[in-house]
Structure 1
């Protein structure tokens, strides 16, 4: 029925009912560094016709995400308005079709506090991958090496806001000065990013009920898909239909959006870089089940 409504009338309808829809929509968002399997997760969720799954819908909100990080999404009302403008059409469409809205973009990670309140029925999947794999994949994509999206990639808050606007993090963070940052290699910066984003996600999880947060390690999803898929669908409040298993296994058998780097990135690290990685990522990595 919804697809039969003329587009101009749809837009009017969306503007009128969006506040109601955002309060009532079942939705799931991903907390992630990127390079952690978000596209794979999107393809898995899209197999279920009860889910409207999107990877990186437009607008991407790159600048807004960096701003949310720099100011820890304060004030929430401003970022709530950004969400309304950017996602009203997609969220409303999913709601009117009776589908769960799922967005796996890592570029909304620091929007989580605004999402938590703007969509009170939302849930969050914390999708993680071994830091060495993420760092290697990110460096292959040019992270902190003048890549096209580097201008929007997070960096220490002291570089993003003036000293008067800088506020203490609400979560433990590696405090990096501007001078230290200027002397760090792309490898070290990528390690810092992995730690910073995942530390934020861990502490954000403590602000919401356990029923709204699920930690998923990409390695576990690939190693034991049957159990992990069941666990994921239970979290979403859906039954995992057995007929979807073969399609899911087919998705997991392919490396989506893969970068070209040594398949065992950790084994390829020299001893010096291993030490750097664990110095920068160690505490957070251990909390997520990774060990040297």
Structure 2
């Protein structure tokens, strides 16, 4: 059976859990999944998902090879961005297929939607494995994204599940970002998250510009504006694959249920220090302004009055 694929990528905290949980319920002949083989913190997601992952992918893939950096989309992406593969990426392509072919073959539905933000690091080689796959990029205002990450915890802080497993997160050194590589260890959680947003959406935007099967959507349009235009466009994009179009039942309130939300006020940049505002604008400004973020008079005034944007807190 011919299968069609959709990969949903982002910086996380953009409704990826929602997409993985919901799309398979509203699109016919569709299997949707959120981070199928990401080893997540069972304290947040429960042991049921972890046990299911072990049953599907095996302990070797989930634990042993991940620790050895032989498995896991995160590890493959970091190795690729670090330039660890040969020029034609043949070994990397083989590794990606080894991660997914058996798993995808076990799924009975013909449309497979994988919502896993770590694919953003493998977008340049995605076409070598999935030539006709649709790619959905979801971008979020970096100000609320950074605050949501901080509220949710677990990235660059003491409760970082990835580091507790002996894994690593993407760093400036891996992508030859010399401007921040030497300062990385002394940067604050806030500053590191700003860098995460910048590098993630630089990679997604670069891919989207050159690839007609990739479409970029704003998180706010899908989940906060209340308008159905962008939502309908998203479902149309996801469900049309050549001569085959999948039917869907988009109820008015399908986007009203939020999954995996963080706690706390996610819109408190008004209370940030001048240094934090300047730092975020310096790193994220070009992309955020292109998408209509940061145009409020108060933000413009604060960011223009802030101290040196290159200041690194130590």
Please say if residues 20 and 34 of structure 2, whose CA atoms lie closer than 8 Å, have aligned partners that are also in contact. yes
Partner of residue 176 from structure 1, selected from 179, 182, 189: 179
Q: What residue is the counterpart of 1:228 in the other structure? A: 230
In structure 2, the CA distance between the partners of 1:41 and 1:284, relative to structure 1 (3 Å rule), is same
**CA RMSD, 1 decimal:** 2.4
Q: What residue is the counterpart of 1:44 in the other structure? A: 22
Aligned residues: 249
Please say if residues 76 and 113 of structure 1, whose CA atoms lie closer than 8 Å, have aligned partners that are also in contact. no
In structure 2, the CA distance between the partners of 1:98 and 1:144, relative to structure 1 (3 Å rule), is closer
Is 1:120 matched up with 2:131? yes
After superposing on structure 2, the runs of 4+ consecutive aligned residues of structure 1 that deviate more than 6 Å are: none
Compute the displacement of 1:113 (Å).
2.0
Q: What residue is the counterpart of 2:121 in the other structure? A: 110
Please say if residues 30 and 105 of structure 1, whose CA atoms lie closer than 8 Å, have aligned partners that are also in contact. yes
Q: What residue is the counterpart of 1:31 in the other structure? A: 9
Please say if residues 135 and 190 of structure 1, whose CA atoms lie closer than 8 Å, have aligned partners that are also in contact. yes
Q: What residue is the counterpart of 2:35 in the other structure? A: 56
Compute the displacement of 1:121 (Å).
0.9
Q: Counterparts of 1:235 and 1:34 in 2: how far apart (Å)?
A: 21
Is 1:283 matched up with 2:286? yes
Q: Counterparts of 2:3 and 2:101 in 1: how far apart (Å)?
A: 11
Q: What residue is the counterpart of 2:68 in the other structure? A: none
Tell me the secondary structure at the aligned position of residue 171 of structure 2: coil
Query: Which is helix-richer, 1 or 2?
Result: 1
Structure 1's unaligned 5+ residue stretches are 1-20, 161-165, 169-173
Partner of residue 199 from structure 2, selected from 190, 193, 196: 196
Compute the displacement of 1:290 (Å).
1.5
In structure 2, the CA distance between the partners of 1:278 and 1:240, relative to structure 1 (3 Å rule), is farther
Aligned ranges 1:44-193 → 2 under 5 Å: 44-47=22-25, 48-58=27-37, 60-71=72-83, 75-94=88-107, 97-140=108-151, 141-146=153-158, 147-150=160-163, 151-156=167-172, 158=173, 160=174, 175-193=178-196
Tell me the secondary structure at the aligned position of residue 152 of structure 1: coil
Please say if residues 171 and 181 of structure 2, whose CA atoms lie closer than 8 Å, have aligned partners that are also in contact. no
In structure 2, the CA distance between the partners of 1:270 and 1:255, relative to structure 1 (3 Å rule), is farther
Q: Counterparts of 1:268 and 1:43 in 2: how far apart (Å)?
A: 34
Please say if residues 31 and 109 of structure 1, whose CA atoms lie closer than 8 Å, have aligned partners that are also in contact. yes
Q: What residue is the counterpart of 1:205 in the other structure? A: 208
Q: Give the alignment's TM-score, normalised by structure 1.
A: 0.76
Compute the displacement of 1:287 (Å).
2.4
Compute the displacement of 1:185 (Å).
1.2
Compute the displacement of 1:274 (Å).
1.7
Compute the displacement of 1:197 (Å).
0.6
In structure 2, the CA distance between the partners of 1:240 and 1:263, relative to structure 1 (3 Å rule), is farther
Kindly provide the CA deviation profile for residues 108-163 of structure 1, in whole angstroms up to 9, marking residues without a partner as x.
2111122212111111111111111221122231321241214432111x3x4xxx
